[in-house]
């Protein structure tokens, strides 16, 4: 078994320092270190869920909170009216590179309709 912490676990345990945009008892949000758009925020649960496939009914509150906070951050960053994208990648073919459930909030420029 691999006990090495991934980058999100290191951020949550403060082994890697980052400025949190938002944090409560369920989730944490911070800027992506390799942004794909002018605004690129990552929103993660404060506890480990490997992929979207590992979600169950006990995770409803945290998933709802992730979406609610994403909309609040979009308003705070003034992209709520122009628009933004929410992305959750799942597994290798879905482009998930960090196996810890996370949501991307992307905005600040006109997007396109290319998904893959």
pLDDT by 10s per residue, the chain, length 116: 457 899 999 999 999 999 999 999 999 999 999 999 999 999 999 999 999 999 999 999 999 999 999 999 999 999 999 999 999 999 999 999 999 999 999 999 887 766 54
Task: Indicate the Cα dihedral angle 72, 116, 53, 57, nearest 10°.
Answer: 30
d(CA 73, CA 12): 19
Catalytic residues, which ones?
A: 102
Collect all residues with Cβ–Cβ distance below 8 Å to 21 and sequence separation of at least 6.
29, 30, 31, 41, 73
Domains of the chain: 24-103 (3.30.428.10)
Collect all residues with Cβ–Cβ distance below 8 Å to 74 and sequence separation of at least 6.
80, 84, 105, 107
Look up tokens 């090495």; give the residue. 4
Q: Which residues pair with 87 in a beta bridge?
A: 104
d(CA 24, CA 29): 9
């Amino acid at each position: 078994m691999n006990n090495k912490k991934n980058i999100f676990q290191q951020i949550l345990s403060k082994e890697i320092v980052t400025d949190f945009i938002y944090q409560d008892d369920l989730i944490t949000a911070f800027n992506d270190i390799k942004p794909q758009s002018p605004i690129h925020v990552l929103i993660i649960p404060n506890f480990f869920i490997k992929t979207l496939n590992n979600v169950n009914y006990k995770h409803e509150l945290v998933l709802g909170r992730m979406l609610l906070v994403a909309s609040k951050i979009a308003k705070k960053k003034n992209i709520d009216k122009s628009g933004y994208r929410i992305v959750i990648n799942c597994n290798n073919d879905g482009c998930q590179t960090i196996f810890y459930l996370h949501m991307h909030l992307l905005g600040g420029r006109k997007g396109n309709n290319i998904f893959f």
